[in-house]
Amino acid sequence: MTSRLAGRFAELKAANRSALVTYICAGDPGYDASLSLLKQLPAAGADVIELGMPFSDPMADGPTIQAAAVRALNAGQTQLKTLEMVRQFRRDDQTTPLVLMGYYNPIYRYGPEAFMRDAREAGVDGLLIVDLPAEHDSELGPLAREAGLDMIRMATPTTDAKRLPAVLDRASGFLYYVSLNGVTGVGQADNATVRDAIGAIQQQTELPVCVGFGVRTPEQAARFALDAQGVVVGSALVEQIANANSPEQGVKDVLSLVSALSAAVKQARN
């Protein structure tokens, strides 16, 4: 059986276009607004959704997503509620791939075996665990594969040719290429450098490569969409929530930006 992620990337490849991968933090700014936003992302143009699992020490994230995690946790978001959001989403949408992104600690506290069982039952398609590199695959990898969940790996500008095979080993779903060193939402990547990196990665894997970190505008998304199989936008969306004068306005502002990003990505290769 083809996974939702594999199916979606196959569809997009046939259409000769890149995926728009959108990140939001579960429970930001509150459960109801966050669930409303999640349900509306596909219609606005999101091809794949990354749903952040809020954690109190998100060391790979910049100030924007750190603040989102704080807002979500202060509003009472838990791992149980995050999985319930996925269940609610799946009642209306059985086709859009959804990846949980975050850190190992909340999964460890939940209990890895129970978490994998519940995540699969809820309708999660994959996991991107920032602080579990390939060398620690044994922590979650076997459980994820047994549950039929993709384990998505990350490569960075410092991932050299010697380490790349280890990163790709038993990776599935897609490869998340971090376009610049540092934390999310800070800086801007150089297109030529990213293009070269994607080319080197594609010589070693058939996995789709999605580029994230430092992608903020439709223009930037369109440029990366020329070479990558997916473009990930997170901090720029989360900022819309932070800057809005109400949760409802934040949802509208995120959806508006997603629509603009989607249009740019769709037109990139035309």
50 a catalytic residue: yes
Within 8 A by CB and 6+ apart from 251, the residues are 33, 36, 37, 40, 241
From the number of C-beta atoms within 10 Å of its C-beta (0-12, 13-18, 19+), residue 199 rates as: exposed
CA dihedral for 23, 26, 31, 32, sign (positive or negative): positive
Q: What is the DSSP letter of 49?
A: E
CA distances from 43 to 40, 48, 128 (A): 6, 12, 24
Q: Which of 47, 50, 137, 150 is catalytic?
A: 50
206 a catalytic residue: no
Q: Which of 28, 61, 118, 137 is catalytic?
A: 61
What is the DSSP secondary-structure string of 164-185?
A: HHHHHTT--S-EEEE-SSSSTT
Cis peptide before 29 (omega within 30 of 0): yes
**Which residues does residue 231 pair with via DSSP β-bridges, in sequence order?**
20, 211
Nearest by Cα to 24 from 231, 186, 255, 261: 255
Catalytic residues: 50, 61
